[in-house]
């Protein structure tokens, strides 16, 4: 869970670090004329970054589950285009940025992990909410 959180967080951070400055440098007007921050689509970049993360994590264990993020990501891009918030090129660029951000996060993971994780930690406490069979609960894992 810790490793996956680091990878996904790194991916979304990379995506943001590319999308936000690019929007302010390019200054492309949105189709609805609301502002000049159309290119690239940040929503689509985040959606595809998450979909690519799911693919990387589950492709070996459950291939069909690994693909479930992509329809949502594609829908996000189509929806942003149909609502006149982005041009098609904005969405395609956002998708590419998202996918490449996740790939870069996996490549950078060993270095980022060594900076964030203290190897001397001997004990771990993890508390998390869960929902199963119409029951809510709180789980607790202790590692000594």
pLDDT tens digit sequence for 1-30: 788 888 999 999 999 999 999 999 999 999
Q: Do 94 and 45 meet the contact criterion of CB atoms below 8 Å apart? A: yes
Q: Is 61 helix (H, G, I), strand (E, B) or coil?
A: coil
- Domain span at residue 87? 2-143
Across the range 97-118, mean pLDDT stands at 88
**Host H or E run for residue 129:** strand 124-132
Residues contacting residue 2 through CB under 8 Å, at least 6 positions apart: 117
Query: Count of domains in the chain?
Result: 1
pLDDT at 122: 63
Which pTM was predicted?
A: 0.78
The mean pLDDT value of the chain amounts to: 89
pLDDT tens digits for range 64-100: 999 999 999 999 999 999 999 999 999 999 999 999 9
- Residues 20-56 have pLDDT tens digits of 999 999 999 999 999 999 999 999 999 999 999 999 9
Residue 74 · residue 65 · CB < 8 Å:
no
Q: Which residues pair with 142 in a beta bridge?
A: 125
Q: Is the pLDDT of residue 134 over 90?
A: no
């Amino acid at each position: 869970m810790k490793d996956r959180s680091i990878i996904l967080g790194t991916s979304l951070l990379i995506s943001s670090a590319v999308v936000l400055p690019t929007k302010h440098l390019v200054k492309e007007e949105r189709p609805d004329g609301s502002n000049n921050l159309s290119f690239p689509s940040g929503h689509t970049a985040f959606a595809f970054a998450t979909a690519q993360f799911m693919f990387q994590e589950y492709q070996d264990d459950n291939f069909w589950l690994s693909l479930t993020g992509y329809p949502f990501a594609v829908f996000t891009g189509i929806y942003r285009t149909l609502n006149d918030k982005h041009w098609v090129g904005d969405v395609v660029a956002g998708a590419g940025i998202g996918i490449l951000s996740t790939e870069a996060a996996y490549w950078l993971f060993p270095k980022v992990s060594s900076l964030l994780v203290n190897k001397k930690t001997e004990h771990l406490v993890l508390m998390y909410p869960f929902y199963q069979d119409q029951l809510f609960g709180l789980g607790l894992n202790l590692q000594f």
